[in-house]
Chains A and B, each alone.
Chain A
Amino acid sequence: MNFLREHSPFSSMDDTHLAHFAEHATLRFYADEDVVLSPEDGVVKRFYIVKQGRIRGERHNEKEDRAETTFEISQGECFPLAALIGERPTRTLHRASGDTFCLSIEQKAFITLFSESDSFRDFCLRGVSSLLDQVNQRIQSNAMASIGSSNSLDTPLERYALRNPIVCSPDLPVHKAVARMHENNVGSIIITDDNRHPTGIFTLRDLRTMIAEAKGPLDTPIRQVMTRDPCRLPATADAFEAAMLMAEHHFAHLCVVDENDLLIGVVSERDLFSLQRVDLVNLARTIGTATHLRTLVSLRADVSRLVDSMLAHGADSGQVVKIITTLNDVTVRRVLELNLKKDDPGIPFTWLTFGSEGRQEQTLLTDQDNGILFETPDGMTEEQVREKLLPFARKVNDELAECGFTLCKGNIMASNPKLCLSVAEWDDWFIRFIDASTPQNLVYSSIFLDMRAVFGPTDSLHRLLERVLARIRKNALFQKMLAGNALQRKPPLTMFRNFRYLNEEKKHVLDLKRQGLAPFVESIRVFALANGIENANTLERMEQLSKKGVFDAKDANAWKEAYSLIQAIRMRAHQEMLDRDEPLTNYIDPDDLNPLDRRILRESFRQAQRLQQKLEVTYQL
């Protein structure tokens, strides 16, 4: 009975319904490989719940004349749903995978429960994959409860920006525009053309600058002083996207437009963050305009505080890592800008980041992985360029270290001559990397194959990536080795679906990064590279793999969720370590988690196993 109460849908069922189940249930045992249900058994007569062990669905593959595993059902899950509800034989052979106990009720008891219990019916109709949905809903509802309002960064912009924006035509004198802003008590005015397309924006900050710098008389037509081509987002975008765009460009206002680029509203930083009480934009702006290194260093503490309050407000882990990455990007850019001002090496370059920063998946625990890409100017050799760029890069690496980005122990940094390369050299580098795939190279794949530009022109990087992807797509052996490498790290579950701990000494410890996230990141990378996806972010890679039909949409969703949930648990653990003034690690003891989180974690690891299985099947490993 305790078992039932811990598992969906029984956890949300009435006591009377649960009792009805218990009165009619039998407990059955199936040894490893025993057949539980078979299409030959005729119309399905019983409903089963796995109490312990696993059931796998087997379908015969006509082409290759062998059995294929189509699904797995583990502890707390039910079967067969479709066949029982459809009153037909099952189409899949259900076989025990390991010694398995199932609770079972007859069709009659099933029908009684199905008709009387809403939560049981919902569960059956939505199928087993709804479990993660449910877990997610619960996490979010907890988060909502702590915010105390139903607003979150997922809210579509139209909710914030429905009010009529204050607009004017381009010829209106500045003082009249300001009067209009004053009357309506707003901080911005949008300048539109005759068709209501936004062509510019003018804010109180612009007015301040105009007066302070004596840019012209107050009867100047506004089009001469407005900011042209204002940033805009469609109404379907959510508050999070708006916040990110604002943080990136240090704007406080964004235009909201419909599908024809017609203005529907304006959303301001205040609108977004009056709810969250998180001064993301302000922080990004402060970082982006800091004039001294020491200011940047002191601002890092604010980043940590911001993450803290975002987590406390229940922000989604994907959003938080992106925010950290964005703020890190802003910091890196500012360090570069400050150094360029002081001592410009005179050669244009692109600042690359690799690994987790390349994937936009940084947490508070982070070190530097960066490099430089340059186009060799006419009349110079690559060595000569390096002579100029390397001292500059060294300075930047050191200053970033002061800002809290630990120096990379493996010397994967722009100041390393091997990673400060011209386009042609990077090209050669990747050819060697892909064609001579040594074990060492495979270890580096998690760094160099997740690459992104943070500063400088992006065209040459884009072309470089295209060539790299084309080469990987053609090189089946490299893909296979990459896949083999991705399978090295197994999700920490035992045969019995319990947690497999790190080692004998650390008996109750899981490494959420290496054991939990890495199986996702590495498997997804193989699929992404093999299918020509340039984006390095794991969640976005999954999204695109699903769009391309490489992943089933349901699978992709389950994997995205599982990955995000592990990340969320990891980040929460980080914040707790910060609170206790402990050094940050990725280790947790699952016994410290509440039963729901433990369940989530186990479920998420199981999804990682499924993903790895897909990799094994795809590459026949």
Chain B
Amino acid sequence: MLEYIKQWLAQRRGGAIGDHDPGNLPEPKTVAEQQLSRCRLIVLDLETTGLNASKDEVIAIGAVAIEGGVIHLDDQFDLILRRPELDIRETVLIHGIGPEALTQGHETEDALLYLLEWMNGDPVLAYHSAFDQKFLEKTLKAQLGYARPHIWMDVAELLPALFPNSNVKGRGLDDWADFFGLEVSERHHAAADALVTAELTLIALNKARKNNVKTLKELAEKLHYQRRLKNMQRY
């Protein structure tokens, strides 16, 4: 089944990849009065060869789109980048992508161009987004010379901001997934992790609506406030 869908997706994307217009990529959006209940959000997860952004590389990108407050399962992104020259023995154990799967990946440039088109400049959310942002920006810069700023939001910040009293054991994705009883089909698989992050985002957006946080701007302000609160507590 999965194979079938992968094949089908590959066919659908087959046309797109290799036929891009690098000069005419979608304009990244800015934080404004977009209605959260309507706008499209990208939830993304990367797999990398390690944790060090200056030396490690991106292996796979999984992303899911939320639009109108729901996850559209036909609007997903699951790519393995072709990086055969990388030595990936260290992290293969964590995410289960072996050298063979890597070589089957798409040509890096094509894949990244496709990603930018698919993202459509929409806000990007990730769990511990600073990590994903750093890696993705570095990769886009190195491969495409692309350096335009996108909106990034951290789901790891969003959740405690909206559920301040929840008694979550730790600060990891698994902790929140456990807290809400979510099932992760294949942990450390970019697409599966992205889906779980997106599910958590849906929970957060539902709560935001109830707290009368309606626009992207209001949400960004809430996160900003949360960050300041946290910094204050630190001192």
Chain A residues with a Cβ under 8 A of chain B: 1-3, 5, 15-16, 18-19, 22-31, 34, 52-53, 99, 101, 103-104, 495-496, 498
In the complex, the answer to whether A27 meets B199 with C-beta atoms within 8 Å is: yes
B4 within 8 A of A: yes
In the complex, the answer to whether A1 meets B181 with C-beta atoms within 8 Å is: no
Q: How far, in angstroms, from A3 to B72 measured CA to CA in the complex?
A: 16
Interface residues of B in 149-181 (CB under 8 A from A): 180-181
In the complex, the answer to whether A52 meets B203 with C-beta atoms within 8 Å is: no
Q: How far, in angstroms, from A76 to B1 measured CA to CA in the complex?
A: 18
In the complex, the answer to whether A29 meets B202 with C-beta atoms within 8 Å is: yes
Q: How far, in angstroms, from A99 to B183 measured CA to CA in the complex?
A: 13
Least CB distance from B112 to A in Å reads 25
Least CB distance from B5 to A in Å reads 6
Chain B window 194-235, contacts with chain A (Cβ cutoff 8 Å), 1 for yes, 0 for no: 000011001101110010000000000000000000000000
Q: How far, in angstroms, from A398 to B198 measured CA to CA in the complex?
A: 67
Q: Write the chain A residue with the least CB distance to B182.
A: A52
In the complex, the answer to whether B5 meets A29 with C-beta atoms within 8 Å is: no
Partner of A18 from B1, B180, B202, B203 at Cβ < 8 Å: B1
B183 to chain A: which residues have CB within 8 Å?
Answer: 3, 52
Q: How far, in angstroms, from A28 to B183 measured CA to CA in the complex?
A: 15
B185 within 8 A of A: yes
Chain A interface, DSSP helix/strand/loop, else mixed = mixed
Least CB distance from A100 to B in Å reads 10
Least CB distance from B167 to A in Å reads 15
Q: Write the chain B residue with the least CB distance to A10.
A: B1
B93 within 8 A of A: no
If A1-B1, A22-B73, A22-B74 touch, does A34 touch B199 (CB 8 Å cutoff)? no
Partner of B1 from A15, A27, A103 at Cβ < 8 Å: A15
A18 to chain B: which residues have CB within 8 Å?
Answer: 1
Q: How far, in angstroms, from A52 to B181 measured CA to CA in the complex?
A: 8
B207 to chain A: which residues have CB within 8 Å?
Answer: 31
Least CB distance from A229 to B in Å reads 63
Q: How far, in angstroms, from A577 to B210 measured CA to CA in the complex?
A: 54
Least CB distance from B76 to A in Å reads 10
In the complex, the answer to whether A19 meets B71 with C-beta atoms within 8 Å is: no
Partner of A22 from B5, B70, B71, B205 at Cβ < 8 Å: B5
If A99-B180, A496-B181 touch, does A19 touch B5 (CB 8 Å cutoff)? yes
Q: Write the chain B residue with the least CB distance to A101.
A: B199
Chain B residues with a Cβ under 8 A of chain A: 1-2, 4-5, 8, 69-74, 180-183, 185, 198-199, 202-203, 205-207, 210
In the complex, the answer to whether A26 meets B185 with C-beta atoms within 8 Å is: no
10 more contacts with CB within 8 A, not counting A27-B199, A29-B203, A52-B182, are A1-B2, A3-B183, A19-B1, A22-B5, A26-B70, A26-B71, A27-B198, A27-B202, A99-B203, A104-B70
Q: Write the chain B residue with the least CB distance to A31.
A: B206
18 contacts between A and B (CB under 8 A): A22-B74, A23-B74, A25-B73, A25-B74, A26-B70, A28-B69, A28-B71, A28-B202, A29-B70, A29-B199, A29-B203, A29-B205, A29-B206, A31-B203, A31-B207, A31-B210, A101-B199, A104-B70
B5 to chain A: which residues have CB within 8 Å?
Answer: 1, 19, 22
B8 to chain A: which residues have CB within 8 Å?
Answer: 19
Q: How far, in angstroms, from A28 to B203 measured CA to CA in the complex?
A: 9
Least CB distance from B181 to A in Å reads 4
B198 to chain A: which residues have CB within 8 Å?
Answer: 27
A496 to chain B: which residues have CB within 8 Å?
Answer: 181
Q: Write the chain B residue with the least CB distance to A98.
A: B181
A25 to chain B: which residues have CB within 8 Å?
Answer: 73-74
Q: Write the chain A residue with the least CB distance to B202.
A: A29
A22 to chain B: which residues have CB within 8 Å?
Answer: 5, 73-74
In the complex, the answer to whether A19 meets B199 with C-beta atoms within 8 Å is: no
B1 to chain A: which residues have CB within 8 Å?
Answer: 1, 5, 15, 18-19
Q: Write the chain A residue with the least CB distance to B179.
A: A99
In the complex, the answer to whether A24 meets B74 with C-beta atoms within 8 Å is: yes
Q: How far, in angstroms, from A101 to B69 measured CA to CA in the complex?
A: 12
A495 to chain B: which residues have CB within 8 Å?
Answer: 181
In the complex, the answer to whether A27 meets B4 with C-beta atoms within 8 Å is: no
Q: How far, in angstroms, from A22 to B4 measured CA to CA in the complex?
A: 11
In the complex, the answer to whether A3 meets B70 with C-beta atoms within 8 Å is: no
In the complex, the answer to whether A3 meets B185 with C-beta atoms within 8 Å is: yes
Q: Give the 7 A-B residue pairs with the shortest CB-CB distance, closest first.
A: A29-B202, A27-B71, A496-B181, A26-B70, A25-B73, A23-B74, A28-B70
Partner of B206 from A3, A24, A30 at Cβ < 8 Å: A30
If A19-B1, A19-B5, A496-B181 touch, does A26 touch B206 (CB 8 Å cutoff)? no
A2 to chain B: which residues have CB within 8 Å?
Answer: 2, 185
Q: How far, in angstroms, from A340 to B182 measured CA to CA in the complex?
A: 65
In the complex, the answer to whether A15 meets B70 with C-beta atoms within 8 Å is: no
Q: Write the chain A residue with the least CB distance to B73.
A: A25
Least CB distance from A137 to B in Å reads 23
Q: How far, in angstroms, from A55 to B25 measured CA to CA in the complex?
A: 43
Least CB distance from A601 to B in Å reads 18
